Chain A
Amino acid sequence: MTVLVFVEPDDELSLQAVTLARSLDGEVHGLSIGPAQAPVDVLHVAEIEGTYAPAASAAALVQLIEQLAPTAVVAPGSDRGNEVLAHAAARLDLPMAANVTDVRGDDVTRQRWGGTLLEEARVHAELKLLSAAPFAFPVGSASAPGRVETFVPDLTGADTAVRVVETVGASTGGVALADAKVVVSGGRGVGSSEGFAILEELAALLEGAVGCSRVVTSAGWRPHTDQVGQTGTKVSPDLYIACGISGATQHIAGCKGAKKLLAINDDPEATIFSHADYAVIGNLHEIVPAITAELRKARGG
């Protein structure tokens, strides 16, 4: 029995996918486009010239599936992982279960609503195509594969017709939201675009990033690139500070990856508190500057 896992280089979600693959029965084979580090038994490295082309990755994956006849194919629950797996599913006309958190024989548990709801589902197919829900599986070591083999896919012009032709720089500076160790995030309670100044000050002091809820971007107070949530950026900082955020599932889906969550809200009944590790009750416009001042004091500034 063989399980095949699609891995991307330097990608934590790919290592999580390997953990899911390891939990299934069989020898674990990996496919990477270009060299990668992944703790699989055999890593097949496909060289595809040029920039990322989703259909070419999928063609390679499907050809390796035909060669190895695995019982399951696992991909990381990233944009690219889900994309390549969906291409493969379309090519093979097989069902695909996205963002899986558990596998029991033919049954899987998968995430809905950005992980705020789970679905138990049955896969009616010999070959299961699964992507691993982000941060649902621990990361093993990024140790070297047992064996590395070169895989040469047979690609057509159609496979490489759609590809990245250019990468343009990000317009925003500072710490990227997705990578920030601390995120200071504001919701409706911040009240205005100008109200975010105190959040920016605290975030800068903590070398973190400023985030916001969907209400804020809809109101035009912050750009969508700052939005944390199911339809915004999903973050996984050490500390997430939610200021004046009520805690709609749309938002929780984006910040539930945080190791710790501190909620500041003047409504003691706010839903956010049932997702928080720490709570401060009161007016964020008074509390946030007080934290900033206290932090400066603690640093002897």
Chain B
Amino acid sequence: MRILVAVKRVPITGGKMVLSEDAQSIQTRHLGFTISPHEECGVEEAVRIVEAQGGEVVVITLGPAEAEDQLRECMALGADRAIHLVSDEEWDAQATASALLDAIRSEEPFDLIVFGNESADAGNYQVGIRIAYALGLPVVTGLKGLTVADGRARCEQEVAGGRDVYDVPLPAVVTVKEGLNLPRYPSVPAKLRANRKPVDARPVERAAPKLEKLRLVVPEGQGKQAEILGHGPDAAPAVVEVMQKLGVA
């Protein structure tokens, strides 16, 4: 089983969005970075499948030189090697799909290609689907359950009132959501091993975006003035009064 997982480096945003001076990005000077959460579950799932059935997990990212940290995180979770498409710029979804596609085509075919349902930052909801169409593969999105056996993938999607199940032949593309599993905490030896695993870094040139980011804006509504109902348990009558006013008591 050969599995490719696409991941993205994103900042850990904390409580407040602060923009860079040119409003092109959020200020990250004081922030840490991580793998976009849906995708971390994608890596964990791929590693579990390969641990059980044998094979290889390859991770790929499009991002700045620093994104190597996230590739190492993926390899500490158990991925075998990484492909790093190096670019400092932010790419739109079509150009991202196109660059990933070139890289995928340069490799031996994968049985399963895993994306996050949407990235934490840009939230475009489309790169995995574009890749599936370009490769002529079936695609199922938003997975909260995945079972791979006998050349097929049983895919479970959470919907109102239950789970929708899809059953597709491999090779296939899937996009996953957080909650698919609880990713492991990498051990120290796993982190050390990750430092020795290969990262294939390739420079890439960004095409002109068709969905062109002009600027970022922090939405209004942050900095609300809350009405203080009280301190400690003595506030309970005031809380109940509010509940009655809202018609939920």
Contact = CB atoms under 8 A, between A and B. Distances in A.
Interface of A: 52, 54, 79, 82-83, 86-87, 89-91, 93-99, 107, 109, 111-125, 131, 161-170, 176, 178-179, 181-182, 206, 208, 214, 217-218, 220, 224-225, 227, 230-232, 238-239, 246-250, 256, 259-260, 262-263, 271, 273-283, 286-287, 289-291, 293-295, 298-299
A111 B124 CA distance: 9
B92 A95 contact: yes
14 contacts: A83-B125, A83-B142, A98-B118, A118-B219, A162-B139, A176-B160, A179-B160, A206-B249, A225-B179, A231-B120, A246-B15, A278-B226, A287-B236, A298-B249
Contact of A86 (B121, B126, B159, B163): B126
Contact of A112 (B122, B156, B226): B122
A95 B213 contact: no
A288 to B, nearest CB: 9
Interface string B223-236: 11011111111111
Nearest to B139: A162
B227 A117 contact: no
B214 interface: yes
The 6 A-B pairs of least Cβ separation, nearest first, read A224-B179, A271-B15, A290-B233, A282-B232, A86-B126, A90-B133
A119 to B, nearest CB: 6
Contact of A118 (B37, B140, B218): B218
A279 B226 contact: yes
B66 interface: no
Given A83-B129, A286-B232, A164 B164 contact: yes
Given A162-B139, A170-B161, A281 B125 contact: no
B26 interface: yes
A122 B215 CA distance: 10
B211 A263 contact: no
Given A86-B129, A90-B130, A274-B224, A54 B236 contact: no
B243 interface: yes
Contact of A238 (B15, B219, B240, B248): B248
Interface residue SS majority, chain B: mixed
Contact of A283 (B133, B141, B232): B232
Nearest to B185: A218
A188 to B, nearest CB: 13
B15 A248 contact: yes
B244 to A, nearest CB: 7
B177 interface: yes
Among B117, B167, B212, the one with the most A-chain Cβ atoms within 10 Å of its Cβ is B212
Contacts of B226: 263, 273-274, 276-279
